[in-house]
């Protein structure tokens, strides 16, 4: 069973995201079509005029090559075939190659993508809508992806790493697997988890192939297409935009202007563009391309190109040019017949910086959809919340605020001194009237005394609240214990927990349950009680 709460009421989303969901007028210059079922018709019309038959053929051929060693489900094969047709479009999400999927929201991203594709297929039967997971194989921040959390354990892959993470071999993951095995409970579900990990990471040579296998095992049955952007043919198709970047620095110019506008509206800018937003990519190397007066330099190496030489390098080896976070969205939208990008709040925040850049490059800007977020509760936890009279909005309060609110609710003593303060202020009104009849110094003395006594009442009120918290600590501890379970480390569960914690309990029912409950266009945070 599922319940919902508005994202705006959770206290976990930025003002930028909340204002976007509210469709605030001042933000409308930073996106094209808002994510509603009706607006997808407009998006289809925009995209079909901005995506070539040639690019589609290259995409389909690249995907066929990438899937050569993968067992393809009937539904995924159907979607691969659909992609060759001019009336097919993609719904895309992207994510890092986190060890064993990393945080739980990896599942929510992909399920949001699959569910939206299905919903659009129902609404618009003349078109085909294909869910795509874009693997961030070219990222190089190993420390961000080399672990996942299981209960109170951090399962971590320790090794030296350089270059694109997708190219990393899987050495050392046997020791990680052996540690993980000792923590699992030995149930049939945990044996399936072990099998997933073993087949993904011990039977594949690199992190790209391991992640592809795992995502395909979990979601291939729903037709998910898994795409590796580190592909020479796709990068060849993107190379005109790379050339623009090298020669004209369009991204820096346009994103800089947009970022300034967002700043002026009071929003925090998510990413700052560099002069050139490209990396140079070779084996064990992914470093920034930097321009000086006469040359293009690969940062922290001896590699140097003249303008003519770097354009020859791009022509001969487009795979060596890797877009950073600013340019990757453009790359995705150039090579995919994409209608919508689904991401978390942080991702959408940097997409809002990009619309002007897309316009400059004459590429259709996609619909931006906040991925589903969810809180998973056991039936026991849900029943405990009910006994404690814990509402949905209460659950999402900061812990100290929750404790204070509940203390006020269950205390048999009135803790609010508002009436006393009002009475005191009334008494001082008479003193101020008297002060008007004498000199200014007496008026100042009255004001100082009023402030002192009001402060005294504030202090007593805080002392009384603290005393009541001690007196009621048994019930408050039960409340805190439950909140700690469902909001580990006072953070959203989806940002810390790994899917294996829940798979160990619910097994193969977990993903179908999530798929059934998550509604991408409802734009609400979902609370799911698992049986």
Give the pLDDT score at 465: 83
Could you give the percent of the chain with pLDDT greater than 90?
A: 88
Average pLDDT rounded to a whole number, residues 307-315: 98
pLDDT tens sequence across 317-336 = 999 999 999 999 999 999 99
Give the pLDDT score at 418: 83
Q: Model's pTM, two decimal places? A: 0.93
pLDDT tens sequence across 160-191 = 999 999 999 999 999 999 999 999 999 999 99
Average pLDDT rounded to a whole number, residues 24-39: 97
The C-alpha atoms of residue 188 and residue 149 are separated, in whole angstroms, by 21
Give the pLDDT score at 445: 85
H or E element: which one contains 328?
A: helix 328-335
Average pLDDT rounded to a whole number, residues 117-138: 98
Residue 276 contacts by C-beta under 8 Å, 6 or more apart in sequence?
A: 245, 246, 249, 252, 288, 289, 290, 291, 296
Residue 226 CA: distances (Å) to CA of 99, 260, 298, 300 = 16, 35, 30, 33
pLDDT at 226 over 80: yes
pLDDT tens sequence across 246-274 = 999 999 999 999 999 999 999 999 999 99
Residue 107 contacts by C-beta under 8 Å, 6 or more apart in sequence?
A: 101, 218, 499, 511, 514
Residue 91 contacts by C-beta under 8 Å, 6 or more apart in sequence?
A: 113, 116, 117, 120, 129, 130, 131, 132, 338, 339, 340, 342
pLDDT tens sequence across 393-415 = 999 999 999 999 999 999 888 88
414 secondary structure, DSSP code = -
Q: Which residues pair with 2 in a beta bridge?
A: 528
Binning pLDDT at 50, 70 and 90, where does residue 130 land?
very high
The C-alpha atoms of residue 331 and residue 453 are separated, in whole angstroms, by 64
Report the relative pairing of strands 88-95 and 338-343 from DSSP bridges. parallel
pLDDT tens sequence across 448-503 = 888 898 898 888 878 988 989 999 999 999 999 999 999 999 999 999 999 999 99
The C-alpha atoms of residue 388 and residue 463 are separated, in whole angstroms, by 25
Question: Using only C-alpha atoms, what is the Rg of the chain?
Answer: 28
Give the pLDDT score at 1: 64
Could you give the percent of the chain with pLDDT greater than 70?
A: 100
């Amino acid at each position: 069973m599922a319940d919902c709460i508005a994202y705006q009421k959770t206290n976990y989303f930025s003002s930028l995201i909340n204002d976007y969901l509210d469709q605030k007028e001042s933000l409308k210059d930073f996106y094209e079509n808002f994510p509603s079922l009706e607006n997808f018709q407009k998006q289809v019309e925009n995209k079909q005029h901005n995506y070539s038959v040639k690019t589609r053929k290259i995409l389909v051929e690249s995907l066929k090559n990438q899937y050569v060693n993968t067992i393809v489900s009937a539904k995924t094969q159907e979607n691969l075939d659909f992609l060759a047709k001019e009336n097919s479009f993609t719904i895309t999400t992207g994510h890092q190659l986190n060890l064993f999927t990393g945080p739980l929201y990896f599942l929510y991203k992909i399920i949001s993508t699959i569910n939206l594709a299905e919903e659009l297929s129902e609404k618009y039967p003349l078109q085909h809508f294909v869910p795509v997971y874009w693997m961030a194989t070219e990222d190089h921040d190993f420390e961000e992806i080399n672990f996942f959390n299981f209960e109170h354990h951090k399962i971590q892959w320790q090794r030296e790493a350089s270059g694109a993470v997708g190219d990393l071999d899987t050495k050392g993951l046997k020791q990680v697997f052996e540690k993980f095995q000792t923590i699992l409970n030995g149930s049939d579900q945990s044996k399936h988890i072990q099998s997933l990990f073993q087949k993904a990471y011990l039977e594949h040579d690199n992190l790209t192939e391991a992640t592809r296998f795992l995502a395909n095992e979990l979601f291939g049955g729903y037709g998910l297409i898994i795409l590796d952007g580190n592909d020479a043919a796709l990068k060849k198709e993107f190379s005109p935009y790379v050339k623009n970047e090298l020669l004209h620095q369009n991204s820096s110019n346009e994103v800089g202007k947009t970022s300034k506008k967002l700043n002026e509206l009071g929003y925090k800018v998510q990413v700052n563009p560099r002069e050139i937003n490209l990396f140079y990519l070779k084996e064990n190397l992914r470093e920034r391309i930097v321009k000086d007066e006469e040359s293009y330099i690969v940062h922290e190496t001896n590699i140097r190109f003249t303008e003519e030489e770097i354009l020859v390098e791009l022509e001969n080896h487009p795979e060596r040019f890797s877009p950073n976070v600013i340019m990757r969205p453009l790359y995705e939208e150039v090579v995919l017949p994409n209608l919508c990008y689904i991401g978390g709040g942080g991702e959408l925040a940097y997409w809002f910086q990009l619309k002007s850049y897309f316009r400059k490059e004459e590429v259709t800007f996609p619909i931006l959809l906040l991925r589903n977020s969810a809180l998973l509760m056991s039936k026991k936890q849900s029943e405990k919340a009910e006994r404690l009279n814990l509402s949905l909005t209460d659950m999402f309060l900061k812990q100290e605020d929750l404790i204070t609110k509940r203390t006020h609710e269950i205390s048999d003593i009135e803790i609010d001194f508002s009436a006393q303060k009002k009475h005191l202020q009334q008494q001082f009104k008479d003193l101020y009237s008297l002060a008007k009849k004498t000199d200014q110094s007496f008026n100042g003395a009255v004001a100082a005394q009023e402030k002192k006594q009001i402060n005294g009442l504030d202090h007593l009120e805080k002392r009384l609240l603290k005393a009541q918290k001690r007196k009621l600590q048994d019930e408050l501890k039960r409340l805190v214990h439950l909140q700690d379970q469902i909001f580990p480390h006072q953070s959203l569960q989806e940002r810390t927990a790994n899917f294996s914690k829940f798979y160990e309990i619910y097994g193969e029912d977990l993903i179908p349950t999530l798929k059934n409950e998550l509604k991408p266009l409802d734009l609400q945070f979902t609370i799911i009680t698992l049986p």
